[in-house]
Every structure is written in C-alpha cells, then in structure tokens.
Structure 1
Amino acid sequence: MRAVTVSAYGAEPELVQLPKPEPGEGEIVVKVEYAALNPADWRAAAGAADPSSAEAAFPLVIGTDFAGRVDVVGPGDNRFRVGDAVFGLAVGPVHAGSYAEYVSVHQDGPVALVPGGLALRSAAALPTAGTAAAQVLAISGVRPGGSLLVVGAAGGVGSRLTRLAAARGIEVIAVVRGDERRRMGDLGARTTVDATAAEVTEAVRGARPEGVDGVADLVSDTADDFARHAALARPGAVAVATRPGASPGALPGGVEGVAYRMQPSAALLEALATAAAEGLLEVPFDAELPLEKAPDALAQNRAGGARGKTVFALRGV
C-alpha cells in the first residue's frame, strides 16, 4: 500500500510502499478514502509526540484522522462489519498512521460509524479538531450567557470551538490574524479581533472590561504568551492552553491554567458526527489533495495560515 512516512524523527516525509496491515483480535482494517491534516501530524513526525507514548517504529506513517470503509475484520467478536463506513483516529501503535491506503484500528478505540447524511470527507475532518473543540469548551467551564476568548479562532479547532460555543449561547471573542470578521461572524463570534491590525489586550478589554469568563489559547507556544492571554480573564476563570510549550504554571489574578490533553472516544465522535450531519457543526475546508501532495501540504501547514481543513483523497485507489 502507499503511505506517507518519515524514516526518522525530523526526516522529510516521503511517499513509500508498505505492506497492508493485518488485523489482530478485535481490530479492523479500514480502506481509507480520506485522511485529514492536523498540525499535530508534522509535530509528531518531528519528534514532538507525547513523551509517554510508545517508542516509534520506523518508517513512521504520519497522520491521525481518517474516514473510509471496513475492508477486513479481525478474529473474535466485532461491532463492525465489512463495508461499514467509519471514521476516527489512528491512535494505536505509533507507526500506524492515517496517511495510507489502509489503517488498522481496534474496535474499542476512537472509531465510529459515519451517520447517514454525512459525507466521508466531512467525517475525516472531524476527529482531532472536533474532539479538541468539544473538550476545550467543556474544560473552560463557560456556561450559556458567559464569554469565551478564543485565541487562534480561524483554524480547524478554533472554527469548531467558535461554532460549538456560539450554539450554546456563549459570547465568543475570536482572535485571528487577518480580516476574518465575516467568516467568524458566520460561525457565531460576537467580536473578532485581528491581531495584525489591533492590540489584542486593548481590544478584548474594550469588549469585556470586567474580563472574559474563559480563555481557549490555541496558538501560544510559550508560558509568557499564554499568561498574557490568560490575564484577560476574570478572577476564578479557567484558561486552557493546547500547545505543549505553553505550560500554564502560576497565573496572576486568580485564573486557573489548564494544559489540554486530548482524550478521544467513540461516544464523542458519534456526537460530533451527529451534530455535523444535522448542520450544527460546520466543517470548513481549505483544500482536497491527492496523497502524494501530503509532504508539501505538511510544510505549508507548518508555515501557518490555514483557513480550514486540508484532506487527502484516496478514494478509488
């Protein structure tokens, strides 16, 4: 099968041929039709994966998010059948990524059926960004009628977080780079701050002088930058950091800092897919590319500026 791999941490991604995976007991092999790009993909390929994860086996297949159809069912009882449309996260052995024609996952892992009315392409774009958005919103503790500052709102996680929060009656203040007022407004943001044209602290204080009720910082790579955004929250609020470098540490003003760690589940994927199928969760796309374009797409994503999901199409191969 074709797969995009790295031969060592930090090596350049390349398209190679690998054996098709064989399912173990309780596993399924999925013929991938779409794989979605996430910033975590190139970070993992560079060696920035969770240090608690197992030692990588090279060549390491890049990618996490996928959607496709069950091709083979492993030994033993299984909740899936050949031909089922499924989507999820490849979070088993660290070398079993989703940028490949086939991926093997366990039935008890974060994998779910694609509901009727939801395209496989849209399903592939949901797992990482959708899970992160839903869990960050829950961790923030902001309730309907409250306010949430989303720093980095234009990206995949930020777009979904803005939509989910607004749908729950939460006032979203979206911090972006560039003129995204119309798009963020369509997603439900009450206020949009262009960090390239305005001083963020002043703009947010102008919108919420008493402080916001929660902060979701999706972009800060340092503790200092995170603390600066957290300082815009009221005392007792929660500020969530999603980047590994933004260690919350001690925050001023009685704000609680939380370092986000994704905890995917099949149940949450099912809820996200249902919301997307019903039109309650927008899945914005930036590009659809063939698998061989993945190395270039990873480099472009690393440079920044994405305004939606990039997916790699493998259907028909």
Structure 2
Amino acid sequence: MRAIVVQKFGATPELADVPVPVAGPGEVQVALDAAGVNPFDLKMADGILKGKMPTDFPMILGVDGAGTVSAVGTGVTKFTVGDKVVGKFLTAPAGHGSWAQYATVPEDATLVPIPDGVTTVTAAALPVAGITAQDLVDAARIQPGQTVLIVGATGGVGSFLVQLANIAGAHVIATARGDATDQVARLGAAETVDYTRTRPTDPNVDDHDPATRQDSSVTAAVRFTHPDGIDVLFDLVSAAGDFASHATLVRQGGHAYSTTWAADEAALRARDITGGNFESKGRSPELSRLLSRVAAGDVVVPVQMTVPLEAAPAVLGQGSARGKTVLAI
C-alpha cells in the first residue's frame, strides 16, 4: 500500500510502498479515505517521540484519520466491517499512522463512528485539533459573559476554540491578520486584533497619519480596549516572552494556557492564575461530543484545503494556517 514515511527520525518524509497491516486480536483495520495534517506530524518526523515511545521504522506518519472498517481482529465487539469511523492512529509502538491506505488501531483507542451527514474529509480534520480545543474549554470552565483571548485563532485548534468558547457564552477576542478578520468573526469572535497593524498613540488623533502611529503588540491592543483585563487566555503560538506579556492581561483568579509549553507556571501561580502548559488528554468521549456538534451544525470544521496523499511532504509544517489541511487517500 502507499504511505508517507520517514526511514529514521529527522529524515525527509517520502511516499513509499509498505505492507498492508493486519488486524490482530482486539484490533480494527481501517481503509482510510482521508487524513488530517497537524503540526505534531512534523514533530513526529523530527523525533519528538524518541525515547518516549517505542517506534517502528519505516515510520508511517499521521495521527488523524477517517475511513471504513475493512477488517476486525478476534475479540472486537465495538465495530464491524463497513462502519464509518474516525480517530487517532497513534498507539505504541508508533509508526503505524494514518497517512496510508490502511491502518490498524486497538478498538479501545480513540476511534468512534462518524455520524450521518458528516463526510470523512470533515471528520479527518477533527480529532487532534478539535479535541485539544474541547479540552482547553473544559479545563477553563468558561462561564457566560467571560472575556476570552485566543492567540493563534486562525489555525486548526484556534478555529475550533473560537467556536467552542463562543458556544460557552464567552466574549471572544481573536488574533488574526486583517485579511482573516471575516473568517474568525464568522466562527464567533466578537473582536479581532490584527497583530500586524500599527495603531495610533491617541484614539483621538488621525490614525492615517504615520507621525501619530506606533507599532502595537497584542497585549497593548487588548489592554487598550479591555483595561480591566480578561478572564481566560488561550495562547496557541507564542514563545515564552510573548506568552508572559499576554498573561499580564489575565485578572487575578483567571486562567492562562499555553499549548507551546511557553508558560512559567510558578509566575502564574504567584498571581493566582490557574492553567499553564497544556497537553490534551481527550479521547473518544470528547471526539464523539464534537462530532455530534458538527452533525447538528453547531460547529464548523474549517478545512482550508484538500490535497492528495503524495503531496503530504510538501504541506507538512507549512505555517500561517487558515484552518485544516486534509489528505485525500
């Protein structure tokens, strides 16, 4: 079968012909129609799992995948051949991912049925980014009327976070380039901050005059419109310095989360702010909940583009995401 693999950590991803995996006891074999692309896929190729999880080579990349159950191993009771399913294809040993025509996964892994009306392309874009967003919203326990700042709102996780925070009743402030303002507004952002735009030093002066304009950080822009601070910060992109700056916006007793492990957790605790460096733990229940919302039309899955499997090496690690990239298998 065709698959995107690396021969060793740090190697260039390539299209290869590898054996079709067989469903062993308790395992499900899935004929994949579509696979999601996430920043974590590049990290896998570069060796983030080295020393942390046993890995088989050539390592087939990909975590998110959706398709049809094509075979089941002995003892499987949750799934039958012909079921449409979506899930995460990362279990020990790593290296048997979703960027392939077939993959196997234990039936008790993160694997759930796809509801009627949801396509495999849509479903494949959901697991990693969607579950991370759902876990963040659950962790922050957002209450109606709270002010939430999402830094990195146009990417996969951010696009889901804007929607889920809005559903929870929050006043959502999203960072986005000017040409993406409409996108995040449609997803539920009440305000946007264009981090590329310069701003006037005084709101009463002509901001078209270069002499009255200055560069403005996200922190300065949000503090200008919300001088009393915000309740929740979700920062999906920043390094330590910028995260620390954004966290100064959070009121005492609020929440601040970094998905890039940029948070100084001791400094947050000193200000009575909960959160810190965040790692998603969600599995099948969270994925099923998200799929139900997608099927009901409450959550939109922002697929930016769909490309063939062989194009995966070219799109791997592309920056400035405006939603999700999905591989058509």
* TM-score (normalizing by structure 1): 0.93
Matched, 1:8 2:8: yes
> Any conservation in 2 of the 1:218–1:242 contact (CA below 8 Å)?
yes
Structure 2 Cα separation of the partners of residues 170 and 154 of structure 1: 18
> Any conservation in 2 of the 1:41–1:63 contact (CA below 8 Å)?
yes
> Any conservation in 1 of the 2:257–2:263 contact (CA below 8 Å)?
no
Aligned ranges 1:129-278 → 2 under 5 Å: 129-197=129-197, 198-220=216-238, 222-246=239-263, 248-251=265-268, 253-278=271-296
Match of 1:309 in 2: 324
Structure 1 Cα separation of the partners of residues 68 and 260 of structure 2: 32
- CA root-mean-square deviation: 1.5
Structure 2 Cα separation of the partners of residues 249 and 277 of structure 1: 41
Q: Secondary structure at the match of 1:271?
A: helix
Read off the aligned partner of 1:66 and give its amino acid letter: G
Quote the offset at 1:55 in angstroms: 2.5
Quote the offset at 1:223 in angstroms: 2.4
Quote the offset at 1:256 in angstroms: 2.7
Structure 1 Cα separation of the partners of residues 242 and 54 of structure 2: 31
The change in CA–CA distance for 1:247 and 1:69 in structure 2 (over 3 A counts) is farther
Match of 2:203 in 1: none
Quote the offset at 1:283 in angstroms: 0.8
* TM-score (normalizing by structure 2): 0.90
Structure 2 Cα separation of the partners of residues 215 and 125 of structure 1: 24
How big is each residue's C-alpha offset from its partner over 1:129-148, in whole Å with a ceiling of 9 and x where there is no partner?
11001001111232111111
Q: Secondary structure at the match of 1:250?
A: helix
Greater Rg by CA: 2
Quote the offset at 1:34 in angstroms: 0.2
Q: Secondary structure at the match of 1:57?
A: strand
Percent identical: 42
Matched, 1:30 2:27: no
The change in CA–CA distance for 1:247 and 1:83 in structure 2 (over 3 A counts) is farther
> Any conservation in 2 of the 1:231–1:255 contact (CA below 8 Å)?
no
Match of 1:123 in 2: 123
> Any conservation in 2 of the 1:86–1:112 contact (CA below 8 Å)?
yes
Match of 1:291 in 2: 309
Q: Secondary structure at the match of 1:95?
A: strand
Q: Secondary structure at the match of 2:56?
A: coil
Match of 2:45 in 1: 45
> Any conservation in 1 of the 2:135–2:282 contact (CA below 8 Å)?
no
Structure 1 Cα separation of the partners of residues 264 and 30 of structure 2: 37
> Any conservation in 2 of the 1:139–1:240 contact (CA below 8 Å)?
no
Give the gaps of 5 or more residues in structure 1: none
Matched length:
309
Structure 2 Cα separation of the partners of residues 43 and 254 of structure 1: 33
Structure 2 Cα separation of the partners of residues 253 and 205 of structure 1: 18
Matched, 1:68 2:86: no
> Any conservation in 1 of the 2:69–2:80 contact (CA below 8 Å)?
yes
How big is each residue's C-alpha offset from its partner over 1:114-165, in whole Å with a ceiling of 9 and x where there is no partner?
0011111111111011100100111123211111110000111101100111
Structure 2 Cα separation of the partners of residues 194 and 170 of structure 1: 20
> Any conservation in 1 of the 2:28–2:76 contact (CA below 8 Å)?
no
